[in-house]
Chains A and B, each alone.
Chain A
Amino acid sequence: MRAAAAVLRRLGIFALTAVLASMVVFALLAVVPGDPAQVALGLTATPEKLAAARAEMGLDRPLPVQYLDWATGLLGGDLGTSAVTGRPVGPELASRAWVTAVLVAAGMAVAVLVAVPMGVVAAVRRRRPDGMLLSGLSQVGIAVPAFLAGLLLITVFAVRLQWFPSGGWTRDGDGLADLLSYLVLPAISLGVVQGAVLARYVRSAVLDVLREDYLRTARAKGLPPLRALLRHGLRNAAIPVLTVGGVQLGVMLVGAVVVEKVFVINGLGSMLLEKVGNRDMVAVQGIVTVLVLAVLVINLVVDLLYTVIDPRLREAP
């Protein structure tokens, strides 16, 4: 009962934040120089033509009206029409966002697969050579830029061994196997670096848990060290790691642009760069809004996961 109320309250906060965020995004882009009518007509346009274009685009109306117009469109999935291309922003954005979502999800999966074992072993064996080696490796991993990892992977696995394509993405009609073959290298180059960062947090969370009294209680019951850690430690250690993982996921949505460039993938990040370069403000507005909403959804999911893991939060005040 109380848990359900807590979830509802959290959803309410999410909705409120989403509305506020959309207002901020709209206001910021309204302030930024770059008149869509000017962009559409070019620098040679006469003032009369400009005014006519502005009226046609609805830019002469007061800002709150424009916001409401845009926001109601947003609710129906309409992100507006680009003044540069003359086409609606929505469909292109959707296909690009889908690419990035798949890439980031795969990258995160790689990161977790790397980070959890690496961090746990580095913590448990912190005084042994192998533990220290893993600790050192994760530091090296943090220092390697994703694009360098990508180039190395391409050189070895695409050019030399020819196991995977060196870049590109699936086209219509391709199967799951094709998608995976395109996905492997970019996901690894995105995930390994993030995994190295995450491993540091896993290590310190596990180190904290190892010092907890309840782990000593578990040992006193007779559980061997590793079993005690797996049964009583990992879920407790997951709480701080979840926080960092959520932040990383948000960062990766845009941060994936580097990997997208290296592997010639048309994702959200590269779309944002293109549209900023073209001064396509309607599209930029749409992309930023989608990114902000995605981050809010990630935070929401992380918050709800906390309550799944930790019974104390189910009855938070």
Chain B
Amino acid sequence: MRTFGASTGGASSGAASSGAANTTAASTVEVRDLRVHAGARELVRGVDLTIAPGERVGLIGGSGSGKSLTAYALMGLLDDELHATGSVTVGGVDVLRAGERTMSRTRGRVASVVFQEPMTALNPLMTVGAQVAEAVLWHGGGSRAAARRRAVELLDLVRLPDPAGAARSFPHQLSGGQRQRVVIAIALANDPALLICDEPTTALDVTVQARVLELVAELVRARDTALLFISHDLAVVGAMADRVAVMHDGRVVETGPVREVLGAPRHEHTRALLAASGTGGPRTRPAAGVGHSALEPAAPDARPVFLAEDGTTPLIRARDLRRDYPGRRTGLLGRSAPVAGLRGVSFDIAEGAAVGLVGESGSGKSTLLRLIAGLDTATAGSVEVAGCDPATADRAALRRLRGDVSVVFQDPAGSLDPRMTVAQIVAEPLHGLPRAETADRVREVVASVGLPPDALERHPHRFSGGQRQRISIARALVTRPRILVADEPVSALDVSVRGQVLDLITDLAGSHDLTLLFIAHDLGVVAQVCDRVLVLADGRIVEGGPVGDVYDRPRHPFTAELVAATPRLADALRQA
């Protein structure tokens, strides 16, 4: 049994604490007063961190808190323009003073790292097997053929189906979760003493996230590898770590066992992070003992899901809505069968409802959004939005429809033209209004999203992520729409501002009598904003109804899996 000191760096392994004062030699990681400068700015301001062999430490903090920089410093991979001082010892190597020669034998052998973005972490021009084999060859030597065989073993270890086939494929032929497994295989190729995971699952779907986390936890435990797990998601960190360190503004503000720090936080910043992260979310897991077999059969419901009261006219009405995309080319002129984006969905949504659309990537959420917003036309079936079917509507009706339906996109940085001022951006959807009235509407709507009046003449780059999303919301509301469609509006935002933006959307939906369609992969976010939820899987609606019912008593296995895969702090603390 390990003992954890409550103070910074006070943790020590059993062996070390039984020894004398020399805890350093036994620690896998020993960081003392680490400071990272970019020119005159100090980004990391004196971090102390100790990780005992086999210990699993979580590092939590908002973006810009310095947690990733700390991880890079541990690997000796800081950018050239950053300068680190203090002392960092990893597996006995003095990282900040070691030369490139020593570090190139340390990285990947003593310490490895798995980064956030699996889609771009692998060389697109090289087979996966060659990239894993390279890690083996670089440190172990041996023959090329032996390294290739070892690569296949490693791909098997991270449980890729058909590891030999996977080794021959290129990264683009694998999914995000599979690619992250490959990166894990590379990281563990030489059985390092330390594995650093920097937000390894943030870019993945929840169910994929759950499986990847499980894999990491299992491998780390089996090999007694020390783990430094970095995340902004407290529930994930809670499940992965024994001990956590909370970073804020370049410092570790609190550290201790998971249960203490997240159960009874002492520092105000930890409390703020806790408050901001997933306070909503599925309330309870499905009753214990209810396996998938006890649930209804997997066949999706073909009947329409009525989210509108009987007798009222629904604002959005979809019947057997299909959208097929052309298949890939085969041979000279042929094409394979069309790929279905939506395989026939039917539902009614009442005016004023707040409906969440939940599903994994590729489930058809965005396709449905595009059809409702009139940005795309269905292959078959019909959708009627505010009495207008975009497939048959004339130009004038379509224009009215586009005024009635507004969209807020995921990435506030990418969806705002950097060369336009806020006033120009917000005014853009308005056509043919007198100049004075346009200016009035813009001022009014910018004020309603909580931006200061002097924001109008500024350009998007002057604003933070949360403020930029407020600008997007203002642009969406300026046409006075009846329906607001939000496509993952907070997933690109820092945890600390997510709550504010969600509150804003809820408030505005109420005050503007909006019908809200809210797309998210995160069940917790949906629960915070919506009263109804539609669950999509593989182009079909598998379940729909009031949020509480669906989360507490999921009828479809997919929903149950989704609910179960969603990390929850309470569960993490219970297990800790």
Contacts and interface: CB of A to CB of B under 8 A. Distances in A.
Contacts of A160: none
A15 to B, nearest CB: 13
Name which of A221, A232, A317 has the most chain B CB atoms within 10 A of its CB. Answer: A221
A222 B124 contact: no
Contacts of A225: 100
A311 B170 contact: yes
Given A212-B120, A309-B125, A310-B124, A222 B138 contact: yes
A317 B104 contact: no
A222 B125 contact: no
Interface in A8-22: 8-9, 12
A103 B124 CA distance: 36
A213 B115 contact: yes
Contacts of A2: 329-330
B26 interface: no
B108 interface: yes
Given A5-B331, A223-B138, A312-B170, A217 B122 contact: yes
B120 A220 contact: no
A150 to B, nearest CB: 39
A220 B138 CA distance: 12
A9 to B, nearest CB: 6
A106 to B, nearest CB: 29
Given A5-B331, A5-B332, A220-B77, A214 B107 contact: no
B124 A214 contact: yes
Interface residues of A, number: 30
B330 A221 contact: no
B77 A216 contact: yes
Contacts of A312: 124, 170, 172
Nearest to A212: B120
Interface in A266-317: 309-312, 315-317
A117 B139 CA distance: 28
Nearest to A215: B123
B375 interface: no
Interface string B322-342: 000010111110000000000
Contacts of A309: 125
Interface string B86-105: 00000000000000110111
Contacts of B115: 213, 216-217, 220
Nearest to A218: B123
A188 to B, nearest CB: 33
Contacts of B134: 218, 221, 223, 231
Interface residues of B, number: 40
Given A220-B75, A221-B134, A311 B124 contact: yes
A219 B111 CA distance: 12
Contacts of B107: 219-222
A235 interface: yes
B109 interface: yes
A217 B331 contact: no
B295 interface: no
Name which of A127, A214, A231, A316 has the most chain B CB atoms within 10 A of its CB. Answer: A214
A236 interface: yes
B106 interface: yes
Nearest to B101: A224
Nearest to A222: B108
Contacts of B103: 222
A231 B135 CA distance: 13
Contacts of A216: 77, 115, 121
A222 B328 contact: no
Name which of B80, B121, B123, B131 has the most chain A CB atoms within 10 A of its CB. Answer: B123
Nearest to B186: A221
B492 interface: no
Given A127-B80, A217-B183, A222 B106 contact: yes
Interface in B279-295: none
Interface in A201-240: 212-214, 216-225, 231-232, 235-236
Contacts of B126: 232
Contacts of A315: 328
Nearest to A239: B125
17 contacts: A2-B329, A5-B329, A9-B332, A213-B117, A213-B120, A214-B120, A214-B122, A214-B124, A216-B77, A216-B115, A217-B122, A219-B77, A220-B113, A220-B187, A222-B138, A311-B170, A317-B329
9 nearest A-B pairs in the assembled complex, by CB-CB distance: A222-B108, A213-B120, A221-B108, A222-B107, A214-B123, A311-B170, A221-B135, A232-B123, A213-B121
Interface of A: 2, 5, 8-9, 12, 127, 212-214, 216-225, 231-232, 235-236, 309-312, 315-317
Given A223-B134, A225-B100, A312-B170, 5 more contacts: A213-B120, A214-B120, A220-B112, A221-B108, A312-B124
Interface of B: 75, 77, 80-81, 100-101, 103-109, 112-113, 115, 117, 120-126, 131, 134-135, 138-139, 170, 172, 183, 186-187, 326, 328-332
